[in-house]
Amino acid sequence: MGRRGLLPQQLHRRYVRPRRPVVTAVSLRGQGIAAASVRFEDICGALPALATLSLPENSLAGGISGVTACTGFQDLTLAFNGFSGAVPNLSPLTKLRTLNISSNCFAGAFPWASLVSMPELAKPHRVSAANIGGVIPPGIGDLLNLDDLELADNYLTGEIPPEITKLTELQVLDLYNNSLRGHLPVGFGKLTKLQWFDASMNNLNGSLSELRSLTQLVSLQLFDNT
């Protein structure tokens, strides 16, 4: 297995080979792991109780379609690697609470509709610098528990959907460096818990009057818009 990708060598040595009966969390941040592909289905097959998988800041590559077999995942962090291809339909991950796939090399649109099947998704949803395109769909408004939405440094187009104003638990909204256009949606001022809002380097225009209601803001960045 090892570096050719069935299971990262460090993960296999530390968690699988000892045959520990109940491993619920694996965290291997910045361990220098290099693999041309990762068979996520083998990871969750070998560790059936695994709920948290955190592999950020390594040199992992290939697609992540196998992650859909890991239906017990609650927290998934794959940020700062070289994963590529399309982000798969994540609907099978119904227990997911946090998702961070930022700073990878994905292509195409993000499967927004699949997030509706994740009622527990509340904490960070981070897809910054993930090379994804498309529009932010109206369905984003169904993620009512979301408090951190980070979509910076991508290729998102279209307008900020008015349904985003339903996310009244949001504390962080990062839309920096996309190709979003239009104005802030009516009702944006309902996001009264918002503390960090960055929509810089887009093509936004229009009135900023909605921001008057955001009394909890500690950081507001809107530079380089039309």
With b for 16 or more beta-carbon neighbours within 10 A and e for fewer, the 44-69 pattern comes to: bebbeebbbbbbbbbebbbbbebbbb
Q: Any residues with CB less than 8 A from the CB of 10 and at least 6 apart, and which?
A: 28, 31, 33
For the whole model, what pTM was predicted? Answer: 0.83
Structural domains in the chain plus CATH codes: 1-118 (3.80.10.10), 132-226 (3.80.10.10)
Full pLDDT tens readout for the chain, 226 residues: 334 444 556 666 666 555 556 889 999 899 888 888 899 998 888 889 999 999 999 999 999 999 999 999 999 999 999 999 999 999 999 999 999 999 999 998 899 888 888 888 876 677 877 888 999 999 899 888 889 999 999 999 999 999 999 999 999 999 999 999 999 999 999 999 999 999 999 999 999 999 999 999 999 999 999 8
